[in-house]
Amino acid sequence: MFNLSYFSCRALILCFSQVQSVCNCVPSIPLSPFSPSSFVLHFSFYQLQNKKIHTNKKRWSYSDQTSVFSSSLVATSNSKVKDMALLELSYVNATLQLLKGELEGLNSSVEVYQNPQETANIPLIALGLKETKEVDFSTPFKDFILEHYNEDGNSFEDEIADLMDLRQACRTPGRSEAGVELLAKYTSHLPLMESRFFSPSRPNGIFFTWYDSFTGVPVCQQNLSLEKASILFNMAALYSQIGTRSNRQRMDGLEEAITSFQKAAGILNHLKETFTHTPSYDMSPAMLSMLIRLMLAQAQECLFEKTALPGIRNQFYSLMKMAQEAAKVSEIYDQVYQSMIQTPIKDNVPLFWSTTSQVKTNHYRSMAHYFVGSALLDHQLGPTDDEDQQEKTLSQVYDCFPEGRSPLDILKKKDERKHIGKAHIRRAIMGHEEALRIYGLCHNTHKLDVLQEILKASHQRSLNKYSENDSEEEFTDYSEAPDIISKTEHKAEMEVPATIKVKVTDFFQRLGPLSVFSAKQRWTAPRTVRLCPEDRDLGFTLKGESPVQVVSLDPLCPAAADGLNENDYIVAVGDTDCKWMGVSEVMRLLKDVNEEGMDIQVVSMMDSNPPMPTKSATFSGNLPKTYSMICLGYDDNIKNPATRKVSKKSSFLSWGLKNRLKSASTLSLPTADQSGALSRNKPRPAFPNTSSHNGSALH
């Protein structure tokens, strides 16, 4: 299909990256050698993300216009103005409906996430990434460093640039473990950043804006709760995309898919339990519960495919086992479908998702009936067969038997066995016909011809089986086959990946130990004290690890006279910064004090009254049926005129690339190719001797 050389691929990537950088929509794609088909896949994926960004911006713009025209209707009494406002409002609402359908179509584009070599398996559903706006930490952080930590904010330009580059890279992570690790690194930096710069007593002017993954409604908050929750959601989305992309024609690919979907479910469950009041609807408890079920259903489907991949033995017990496994998959997808059609989830979930879940419910239920029918029709009870074992197996498959029949009647009587077997095949035929009917109701399913081909192949196989066992001489009996009890030997379980918490180095560790130098503590400006020893005695002792604290101060010593106080913290000795030094290291610096003396810099903790609680500013778009809390409008165009861009270092956009290196006869399944605000800490008389944070922190 595509005749692209490796070098022409790289040229196209460079061109695409430059265009995206100019548009400031999608960061550059990491360059690495890959095949033309892989290039097309990556190109389509980033095209999809780009379209979602533009669609969200349009919806946001038109929702603003809705507010304006609605206000005009209320404010004016002029009939002509009202008519004009009504006309404009109807146009805007119509456009919003079109954009909603466009966004639903983008969310239904599951073909982008599939493995390009996958042509024989039913497509799976992947979650799309939540979009966000850029955030400039430069001016707020520099101001806070100057005002709170009494240090030159400009000296931290590199650290601020590194943090901003890391966040920018997280907007378009790679669909791999390296991409998940990138998000985990940023997630681990968020508690450090919150402790350093987010004071409970003053706002910092930083707004985090994230778009709802399903509705495109923007939500804006000043605290980091939305940021943390959104990054976790994107980690789950990445795992779902990794699972969808896996090659399910190979055993290792199925293992990867199973693990990825279970990890996605685990992260979503962690998100549901940890962030219970997120203002974004895609992270509401009801929506997360549905997504967890969906991820587990797809993991169970992959477990079924793993069992069937080597081939299904055409034997009585093997067919009965696979029937119950297929019934289990059908049962879980039915639960997913039932949760998708509940209000208000059904108004926001793409129709393609609910249609696919309903199709799979019927498809796997039909497969279960086909397996039971084949076991009864093709494997009559012989003299060498274990009658008791077959009776036990059949009893475990049915919840209740047809009236007047027992397991032994069905097994021993040839007519009864054939009668029940054909009834199962009829249910399989009707189930696949229903699946094909539902498939045709959703226009987005027509993008996936492979799904229709698999359904048709399964339907035809059931028809062939029925015709093989049908006879014109027999009376037609339309009694219905009993339901099949679902059962599985390997149940999909939620799994929380270890990558949620990774060890990172604090970008701003030069400010000092986080347990002492945090946004919650108020400090005096560093002051200089002259140390002059008397009889080689400085007049005080030191305690603690880092930074050291002055204790047992002699009030008559020269240092006390020069302004040294009990419980002061030494932050510098001469020109040497000693915020991270322990007692022994500081004493080595002080032992060289001669009669002329030496200057040290100290800071004192300031007593503070509990501040007034700050409001959690949350803004959600004006579209209907949004899951939002306190609303506060925020104009993204009004910016601090003093805002300055930091000088950029080497970009973090290549992190994902660098970290990628770490990182009897048988039956077959039908395939397509068969032919809030924090409270202030109360003042403490002294800090603990040890610091809970050093240069590295585990979160």
List, for residues 148-196, the tens digit of each pLDDT value.
999 999 999 999 999 999 999 999 898 889 999 999 999 999 999 999 9
**What is the rounded distance in angstroms from the CA atom of residue 679 to the CA atom of residue 612?**
9
pLDDT for the residue 55: 62
Tell me if residue 569 falls in helix, strand or coil.
Answer: strand
> Has residue 290 got a pLDDT over 60?
yes
Predicted pLDDT at 106: 57
Three-state DSSP at 115 gives: coil
Mean pLDDT of 564-589: 90
Taking Cα atoms as reference points, which of 261, 266, 43, 26 lies closest to residue 131? 26
Q: What is the DSSP letter of 398?
A: B
Interval 322-343: pLDDT, tens: 999 999 999 999 999 999 999 8
Which of 84-88, 217-221, 524-528 is the least confident region? 84-88
425, containing H or E segment: helix 414-441
Secondary structure of residue 634 in the 3-state scheme: coil
| Mean per-residue pLDDT of the chain | 78
Domains and CATH numbers, the chain: 312-505 (no CATH), 524-603 (2.30.42.10)
Strands (E), 5-95: none
User: CA 5, 6, 10, 12: dihedral to nearest 10 degrees?
Assistant: 20
CA distance 358 to 337: 6
3-state secondary structure of 20: helix
Query: Who wins on pLDDT, 661 or 259?
Result: 259
What percent of the chain shows pLDDT beyond 70? 71
From CA 322, how far away is CA 370, in angstroms rounded?
10
Question: Are 619 and 634 within 8 A, CB to CB?
Answer: yes
Q: Does residue 207 carry a pLDDT above 80?
A: yes
Query: Does residue 6 carry a pLDDT above 70?
Result: no
> DSSP 3-state assignment of 153?
helix
User: How many C-beta atoms surround the C-beta of residue 22 within 10 A?
Assistant: 8
Q: Would you state the pLDDT for residue 370? A: 96
pLDDT, position 190 = 95
This prediction has a pTM of 0.76
Q: Which two tokens stand for residue 580?
A: 């991270």
pLDDT of residue 350: 87
Q: Where are the alpha helices (DSSP H) in 137-201?
A: 138-148, 157-169, 177-197
**Which amino acid is located at 534 in the chain?**
E
Could you read off the pLDDT of 344-360 as tens digits, one per residue? Answer: 898 888 888 999 999 99
- The pLDDT score that the predictor gives to residue 667 is 66
- pLDDT in the model for residue 209: 93
Nearest to 127 by CA among 257, 259, 266, 282: 282
Helices (H) and strands (E) in the chain, counts: 18, 13
Tokens of 559: 């240092």
The alpha carbon of 325 is separated from its chain's Cα centroid by a whole number of angstroms, namely 29
pLDDT band per the 50, 70, 90 thresholds, residue 68: low
In terms of pLDDT, which residue wins out, 220 or 680?
Answer: 220
Output the CA angle 63-66-72, nearest 5 degrees.
150
pLDDT digits (tens, 9 = 90+) for 450-461: 888 999 999 999
Q: What is the pLDDT of residues 591-628, one digit of tens each?
A: 878 777 888 999 998 865 544 444 444 545 544 444 44
User: 50-64, 117-131, 332-346, 535-549: which has the highest mean pLDDT?
Assistant: 332-346
The fraction of the chain above a pLDDT of 90, given in percent, is 40
**pLDDT band at 677; cut points 50, 70, 90:** very low
Of the candidates 289, 298, 368, the one whose C-alpha atom is nearest the C-alpha of residue 333 is 298
The answer to whether residue 21 scores a pLDDT higher than 50 is: no
Strand partners of residue 211: 218
Q: How far apart are CA 659 and CA 500, in angstroms?
A: 16
